[in-house]
A and B are shown apart, each in its own frame.
Chain A
Amino acid sequence: EDQVTQSPEALRLQEGESSSLNCSYTVSGLRGLFWYRQDPGKGPEFLFTLYSAGEEKEKERLKATLTKKESFLHITAPKPEDSATYLCAVQASGYGNKLVFGAGTILRVKS
């Protein structure tokens, strides 16, 4: 069965302490992998789309990478305002335009 798994479930960092979040997937015919940021009580906010293995995208302190089986969201020198839940989702053939989401990683950055 197709599956999207995110790890760790929760991550606590000190301000400036770089780390990575993982999203592993087992789908056939990947069309795209999406990263979203979600603040408490809000809807997810789009960050990146990655389409093929080897692709990388950057935005401020965030960098997303993609391999054939997983994606990483690297956070460099995080700040407290980076605290949020980070969700990944995959779009694959057989799912049409629908996205299948992982459970998310809750990130807390302490000053």
Chain B
Amino acid sequence: SQTIHQWPATLVQPVGSPLSLECTVEGTSNPNLYWYRQAAGRGLQLLFYSVGIGQISSEVPQNLSASRPQDRQFILSSKKLLLSDSGFYLCAWSPGQLREKLFFGSGTQLSVL
């Protein structure tokens, strides 16, 4: 069966520090991968998605970037965090076919102070 791992679960970082969140998927190949951010009381905002290695699409201009160095690995990064980067970050995957649901990781709660 397929599983998705996301870490760390919580992270407290000072403003201006770098960020690296990692997500890996097991039990499937060539998945579509996604990074979402969820602000308190808000819906999920799509940040990046990837349909293959090295292929990244950005949905929202921001201080963040994403990379997909391996088929089942997706990384969310920032060189210098801003206060506004605080939030709950979720990684997700789908089989890549139309009409397929997303499977979410457990999330990372990021607090930038």
Contact = CB atoms under 8 A, between A and B. Distances in A.
B43 A91 contact: no
- Name the residue in B44, B88, B90, B100 with the highest tally of chain A Cβ atoms < 10 Å from its Cβ: B44
Contacts of B32: 97
A43 B89 CA distance: 9
A25 interface: no
Contacts of A46: 101-103
Interface string B97-111: 111111111110100
A98 B101 CA distance: 10
Interface residues of A, number: 25
A76 B101 CA distance: 25
Interface in B36-92: 36, 41-46, 49, 59, 88, 90, 92
B94 interface: yes
A94 B21 CA distance: 29
Interface stretch (A12-20, A62-70, A99-107): A99-107
Chain B interface size, as a band, is: 20 to 34
Most buried by B among A4, A34, A43, A99: A43
A103 B43 contact: yes
Minimum-distance CB pairs A-B, first 4: A43-B104, A101-B43, A101-B44, A103-B43
Given A34-B101, A98-B46, A103-B41, 14 more contacts: A32-B101, A42-B106, A43-B6, A43-B90, A43-B92, A43-B107, A44-B90, A45-B104, A46-B103, A49-B101, A89-B44, A91-B98, A97-B49, A101-B44
Interface of B: 6, 32, 34, 36, 41-46, 49, 59, 88, 90, 92, 94, 96-107, 109
Interface of A: 4, 9, 31-32, 34, 36, 41-46, 49, 51, 87, 89, 91, 97-104
